[in-house]
Amino acid sequence: NAGVTQTPKFQVLKTGQSMTLQCAQDMNHNSMYWYRQDPGMGLRLIYYSASEGTTDKGEVPNGYNVSRLNKREFSLRLESAAPSQTSVYFCASSAGLADPNGYFGPGTRLTVT
Amino acid sequence: EDQVTQSPEALRLQEGESSSLNCSYTVSGLRGLFWYRQDPGKGPEFLFTLYSAGEEKEKERLKATLTKKESFLHITAPKPEDSATYLCAVQASNFNKFYFGSGTKLNVKP
């Protein structure tokens, strides 16, 4: 089992460019999450998907969109990147919302110039 | 306002020197408190879940405890391989609010 995989590992964008971060899990989990991690601020929830076909906003959703493509995949899209979106992005999954975020991916380090 | 505060921000210990990390929280209805370990350049790794005051969980040299206002992660006789950032998170009772603290960076010297 690969667990949670994320692509790409690193990305540099110019302000205004768009991109999609991909996440996939092979544990048959129902719930998936996107976080960003900034120095001194901890992980902040961007969006989550309680189950296939549903998505909801987390703490910091502005400037992002998500798609739960199927049970395995949950993508995060930046439509018009801004320097404030420079961060490390983590995807996570769990059996359900009632379960802890047990599994995190390795992260995507994004720099917006 | 819901929030999670971890202290200290950084902690340096000698191998074998036991200590505790603190996680204090305010949340509207605590459903669960979680501890994670994060190594540099990697995603967090789940350690423990605590659900109610008085609950304790242990794993090797780590022991997590919970009160109504805070949680402690006790590290007994740490080894250099315990060096990492330890994150605390709380989940509110309505499930869709999940807050992380900013972490304690632990460095254990041989």
Summarize pLDDT for B58-79 with one digit per residue, the tens: 999 999 999 999 999 999 999 9
Q: Rounded mean pLDDT of B21-46?
A: 93
Does the beta-carbon distance from B89 to A101 stay under 8 Å? yes
Q: What is the pLDDT of residue A4?
A: 96
Residue A102 CA: distances (Å) to CA of A86, B29, B46, B71, B78 = 25, 21, 5, 19, 24
Question: Residue A54 in contact with residue A73, Cβ under 8 Å?
Answer: no
- Rounded to whole angstroms, how far apart are CA atoms A5 and A104? 8
- Rounded to whole angstroms, how far apart are CA atoms A87 and B55? 35
Distance from CA of B89 to the nearest CA of A (A): 9
Residue B94 pLDDT exceeds 80: no
Residue B97 pLDDT exceeds 80: no
- Rounded to whole angstroms, how far apart are CA atoms B22 and A62? 31
Q: Give the number of other Cβ atoms within 10 Å of residue B61's Cβ.
A: 14
Q: What is the pLDDT of residue A2?
A: 78
Does the beta-carbon distance from A104 to B95 stay under 8 Å? no
Q: What is the pLDDT of residue B28?
A: 83
**Residue ranges of chain B whose CB lies within 8 Å of a chain A CB:** 4, 31-32, 34, 41-46, 49, 87, 89, 91, 95-103
First to last CA, chain A: 36
Q: Rounded mean pLDDT of B78-96?
A: 90
Mean residue pLDDT of chain B comes to 94
Question: Residue B21 in contact with residue B83, Cβ under 8 Å?
Answer: no
Tell whether A106 lies on the interface with B, counting CB pairs under 8 A.
yes
Question: Residue A98 in contact with residue A47, Cβ under 8 Å?
Answer: no
Radius of gyration of chain A (CA): 13
Residue window 25-44, chain A: list those with CB within 8 Å of chain B.
Answer: 33, 35, 40-44
Q: Rounded mean pLDDT of B16-30?
A: 94
Give A9-54 pLDDT, tens digit per residue.
Answer: 999 999 999 999 999 999 999 999 999 999 878 899 999 999 999 9
Q: What is the pLDDT of residue B92?
A: 84
In A1-40, which positions are buried (b, 16+ CB within 10 angstroms) versus exposed (e)? eeebebeeeebebeeeeeeebbbbbeeebbbbbbbbbeee
Q: What is the pLDDT of residue A42?
A: 86
Give A78-113 pLDDT, tens digit per residue.
Answer: 999 999 999 999 999 999 887 777 799 999 999 999
